[in-house]
Chains A and B, each alone.
Chain A
């Protein structure tokens, strides 16, 4: 890894964040709101990418980590009147606990069994949110009131329902998660994860505790996804069971594959792209699911590496 490419890498990432921030002042209202949402969901995708792209573990249950953050933040705010920072921390804590427990159990399996086990645990989580409908209102969900979503900062108050505040906070979260992911994948731990993905047995026989490494990856992934979930609840004011359903386990997979698995910026590209594809086709026809399905199949047939993955392979080998 040369000095020049390190500079290029950081330069690129800083530039992306700078552009995103600048867009706050330029975008028309509709796209402004869409992008704020996309940025939070892109964080969800980045968390997924850490485990799927880099560690090579395909989970079909990541909705439960997102939902852990969502409910972990939303429920205390709604029922206990907690402030925004405390609720966010609570969402992160929920993500940490859930991912640690699930990791300890699910990592006893590999491959297809791992996919199915994670899917099942996520299904249990979803059903639990329905079962305790008294507190969660199940599919109908809870609307978090505007008054609750304010943060006092010295003299001023941050109103999370204000579009600018919301966008900039989403961008801040995105930037944090982006640089955290970048740091992880370029670190020694990141290289070990890639090695585990490529050849787990060999990595074990080089003296690495592959279970501990994989568990760390699951927890890191889970916490990042929970952060996205908590932010989603607090910024957009809605908490509902749909976010725990299997659909939200499949979406991050789709976004990551589309943007390019095992690339740091791929998740953003994928989430953005998919959002707009669905948005635009919904304008023409209500059959947008057909488009999603077709896109997936085309991707997998012709662009297995996704947008940035293909870019990296053809032109920019230094892309992390």
Chain B
């Protein structure tokens, strides 16, 4: 294949990565932005989404599309419920203290990972895509499902943006983000808002995993990479900025896709992580965040 088409292929692959990454990172960004905590178990919510997708699609016989649709709806809901419970039981009790939250979410990470290992096992298992349709471009064929991931992600991002900026629930969330105490003074049930935000963040990660699992596989250790990548996106994009998250996800996803196609994946990751660390060191507010004094 010539260079041009090769580049196009790499870009498409990158867009798919970016689509999934944007959703996952958005989940982390919301939690980070509204609750001001770092959820180290975020990657595990992602993994749970994938594992549950496998469980649901295997349980539902018949047309894989039906099973997949069920997974797309049920898996995020289940993961969201688990997240809600964790928040109410643990995080609210430690009053969202930054260090304690890191430790508690690390504990959560271990527990979820172990439960997945025990009940799902150490193997990586594939999930059947809902449809197999190849789009024939002049230079190569490309999976129609992968393109649908991009569309689905875009729709979900738009929906989230809509909820955050145009609905009352979104307004309540943003108010709590701006000033927790004043929100409380206005009668906003901050505890429940936090629970909802935490659940929403987990659900976004889970839905991203359900989307990607047909073209990768479900494995109990698959949460670490999305966690790290999401951190990278959130920091580059700037805390709490939806637009920043999407732009950063595009940047990272596409460049990761391109670099991985032409160089070794390990080297690509080294460069990406190093660049991001340097960005954070010299410009802590990221690309779109607001600078401190």
Contacts and interface: CB of A to CB of B under 8 A. Distances in A.
Contacts of A286: 118
B98 interface: yes
B234 to A, nearest CB: 9
Nearest to A106: B281
Given A58-B102, A124-B277, A296-B106, A119 B231 contact: yes
A121 interface: yes
Given A105-B277, A131-B267, 9 more contacts: A58-B99, A109-B284, A120-B232, A293-B108, A293-B114, A294-B111, A297-B90, A297-B111, A300-B107
Interface of B: 38, 90, 93-94, 98-100, 102-104, 106-115, 117-118, 224, 228, 231-232, 235, 264, 266-267, 269-270, 273-274, 276-278, 280-282, 284
Contacts of B115: 290
A116 interface: yes
Contacts of A299: 103
Interface of A: 58, 60, 105-106, 108-109, 111-113, 115-117, 119-121, 123-124, 127-128, 130-131, 246, 250, 253-254, 257, 286-290, 292-297, 299-301, 304
A289 B280 contact: no
B224 A246 contact: yes
A125 to B, nearest CB: 9
A294 B282 contact: no
Contact of A120 (B117, B266, B273): B273
B224 A250 contact: no
Contacts of A295: 107
Contact of A300 (B38, B104, B228, B280): B104
A289 to B, nearest CB: 4
Given A116-B235, A300-B107, A301-B90, A121 B277 contact: yes
A295 B108 CA distance: 10
A127 B99 CA distance: 26
A105 B284 CA distance: 12
Contact of A108 (B102, B107, B282): B282
Contact of B228 (A123, A257, A289): A123
A111 B103 contact: no
B89 to A, nearest CB: 9
B228 A113 contact: no
B266 A127 contact: yes
B273 A116 contact: no
Nearest to B234: A116
Given A123-B228, A131-B267, A290-B111, A115 B38 contact: yes
Nearest to A245: B224
Contacts of B266: 127, 130-131
A253 B232 CA distance: 22
A113 B130 CA distance: 40
Given A117-B277, A124-B273, A287-B118, A293 B110 contact: yes
Nearest to B107: A296
Contacts of A290: 110-111, 114-115, 118
Contacts of A301: 90, 93-94, 104
A300 B100 contact: yes
A60 B105 CA distance: 14
B71 to A, nearest CB: 26
Contacts of B90: 297, 300-301
B273 A123 contact: yes
A301 B104 CA distance: 8
Given A109-B284, A290-B115, A294-B111, A127 B269 contact: yes
A275 to B, nearest CB: 16
A120 B276 contact: yes
A257 B101 CA distance: 13
Contact of A112 (B94, B98, B100): B98
Nearest to A109: B284
Nearest to A108: B281
Contacts of A111: 98
A297 B104 contact: yes
A290 B112 CA distance: 8
A113 B108 contact: no
A121 B267 CA distance: 14
Contacts of A124: 270, 273-274, 277
A301 B103 CA distance: 10
A112 B285 CA distance: 12
A113 B38 CA distance: 10
B270 A296 contact: no
Nearest to A295: B107
| Shortest Cβ-Cβ A-B pairs, 7 listed | A293-B110, A296-B107, A293-B111, A289-B114, A297-B107, A120-B277, A290-B114
A11 B191 CA distance: 49
A113 to B, nearest CB: 5
